Chains A and B, each alone.
Chain A
Amino acid sequence: MGKHHEDNYRLNHPDFHPLDQGLDRRNFLQKTAMGLGAAALQVLLGGHSLQAKSIQDQILESLPKIAPKAKRVVYLFMSGGPSQFETFDYKPNLKNMFGEGLPDSVRKGQRLTGMSANQAVLPIVPSLYNFKQYGQNRTWVSELLPYTAQVADELCVIKSMYTEQINHDPAITFFQTGHQLPGRPSIGSWLSYGLGSENQNLPAFIVMVSKNASKDQPLYSRLWGNGFLPSEHQGVQFRSSKDPVLYLNNPEGYDGEDRREMLEYLKKLNQAQNQTWADPEVEARISQYEMAFRMQTSVPEVMDVSTEPDEVFDLYGPGSRDKGTFAANCLLARKLLEKDVRFVQLYHQGWDHHDALPKNIITQCKQTDQATAALIQDLKRRGMLEDTLVVWGGEFGRTVYSQGKLSANGYGRDHHPKCFSMWMAGAGVKPGSYGETDDFSYNILKDPVHVHDFHATMLHLLGINHEELIFKSQGRRFRLTDVHGKVVKGLLS
């Protein structure tokens, strides 16, 4: 019920303001009357008549002692499950096994999806595309990603990711919320809740979905939902249409002053309601209205790319002038990160290549490759790659065998959760390659990284002990990593 549990990370959150401002004790206790924080404070204030300072001091002392490396995150989610064979996981030996059946000793009886489980043979198919090593770390990158290859020295390619889910919906939900079933808060919501927002005029968690991707698998807004966290922490989707945020603008003939006045009265009504019910959702509603009002000016400002020089558009590639494409979204992501937005999530669909993979993956790579590399470069030259974490990856990998008939002009690959590649770059990440898969990229040989471990590591980079960012809901304590996850030290610089 209450929202102030053992959340150690929220010093910048507006709820701490009453505390900061000379401790309006009554107000503060009222607001948090149902939380543990209040009880603790009551003991404190009741026990001793201390000055405001030492209370604040004590709250500060209880903060985590992990120095944060990352201050913001941009997560480029490649929805559909990009094939590791054609991107980062180079398997030269497969060339000699073209068309051979996948040995049972490799598959070990693993359950396949219904799409290929009934296939008589599972013919091995090597990547149609060549690989080369790039940069000081000699990172293998496919020729489909010529721009990413040029920033290879910034990347930490994890080849040994694995997940538990074999189908899109649960796998994406797992990656975004730490649980396969819908209803848990998304990563960005956890961060918004835990770390608050540096920028007071923009939401801490912003989502953009590419318009130029093939929408073979759906996305749904619950992927950036707040779950049981207060609703002000949900991701806000920015769209490419005339109104980037729906219903944000005033109706015609209705000016900002009126709006302000109306919101003041509405706030009073809501506060009166809150006095009776002390429902965190009322507070969330108040703060959302206020955020929306501030966004009326801040959003058009940040979405306006007309002041960006041509050189920037050239960097991000041809699509970047076309609003709503992945490239344009990357450019916007950079602008949002510049404004210290905590978590920017881009989705690019269309990686689900069950058939005609060679042809389709070219399109996907062309849509994303240059802009992804450009984002890294652009952040780097602005000095932001030091404290921004960039993440690229899908929800699972693809199989070594071809789904459907293997023909001269193409092949397809089915879903494969047991190993796949993704990469991180920027703040606190050690560039290079991490983990190893077997010759078939079917099983992990070394350093497996589970989705929970990935989450734990990400939170660690942000200065959060993943075991301590907790929210109690329906009688049980929840974390992004729930009861799992360990920080992968090998990924840290």
Chain B
Amino acid sequence: MIVKDAVCPFCGCLCDDIEVEVEEGRVVAVTNACELGTTKFMGEKRMKNPILRDGDRWKDITYDEAVRYAADMLLEAERPLMYGWSGTHGEAQCVGVHMAELIRGVIDNTSSVCHGPSILAIQEVGHPGCTLGVVKNRADLVIYWGSNPIDAHPRHLSRYTRYAEGFFLENAFRDRKVIVVDVRKTETANIADEFVQIKPGGDYAVLSALRAIVQGKTDTIPRTVAGVTREQLVRVANLCLNAKFGAVYFGLGLTMTRGKYKNIRNAIELVSELSRHTKFTISAMRGHYNVYGSNEVNTWMTGYPFGIDFSRGIAFYNPGETTAVDILARKECDAALIVGSDPAAHFPRKCLEHLAEIPVVQLDPYPNATTAFCNVQIPVAVTGIDAEGTAYRMDGVPIRTRKVISSDYPSDEEILARMYALMQEARER
């Protein structure tokens, strides 16, 4: 059987044109997906059933036992943390918010270690953006800044920019210019029309210089700015000003380097400035396929995209205080539920030391680095493969992922709903 128009649950591109060939309940071939997506669809070895740490060994337990363990752990905790959420569907994220509210916990998603600073910048100056199709059909200039789509979002170039057909472009490949700005010559830089190499930590200065040129203050620019010559800066500014439609896509190379959210603020303000002359947009290259959905769900339910603390009953948001890394580093949290992410692979050592000290339950189909820190791990169906549900693409377009095979694994939503029901029951008693 071939499933058409399946939705790839890997990166924020959320490609929805995947063909998946299924035989005897297994994925045997994948067409249209990139290597990252294909690997995910083909699957690795999944955990068979929930497991409980028993001294140095793992003991198999039932789903009922695992759900009960998690519910009790969260009910008994004084400062529970519920972290992750970017690798699951929106319906599960909604249950998570209700759980956090009920037990007055902290709910945070992986934005706090990826595009959190981008969100802070947007909260200061806003976000002139658009859907990916607007760029595909119109943009004659695309700038990748601190992002390397060939590695991280392989089909971004073919679906939306460099190699994409565009309604208003006669010959899209020829008529569309691509600029790459990065600290090293990446794979993506090799296919760019213009490569701007910045000395590490120099993004803020380069953005400021471009803003000055756009404002007509070229004479204030020194001969080089963070390793970029004035000539190149002027050339880039002119490419921007002369474009009919320009689009900036930035990645963690801008968000998580020196300057952090100030870099993003500066980039957004450059785009707002350019909008006075021509059409320009800017957007983040979001990583997980549904990290943006987690921001969206949290926002309509609590008012904030990430880092929400319900300890005083109301939703309280203060990134740097109410975000997972901070709560772990301060050793505040006394139980953690991890859903759809792998913090052990990304968090600072200090946080992991504390994670090792407290009870941890993880919902994840596969053993991962966080498994080593778990007291219980509950394998679940993979959204987009054996579970369906809503995901938000990096540009905010919501797409319902498809179920391409059936399995006996419960979805994240089912498991969380069972936990929540037990917790509600206990609280009403």
Q: Do A and B share a complex?
A: no
Residues on B facing A (Cβ under 8 Å): none
Residues on A facing B (Cβ under 8 Å): none
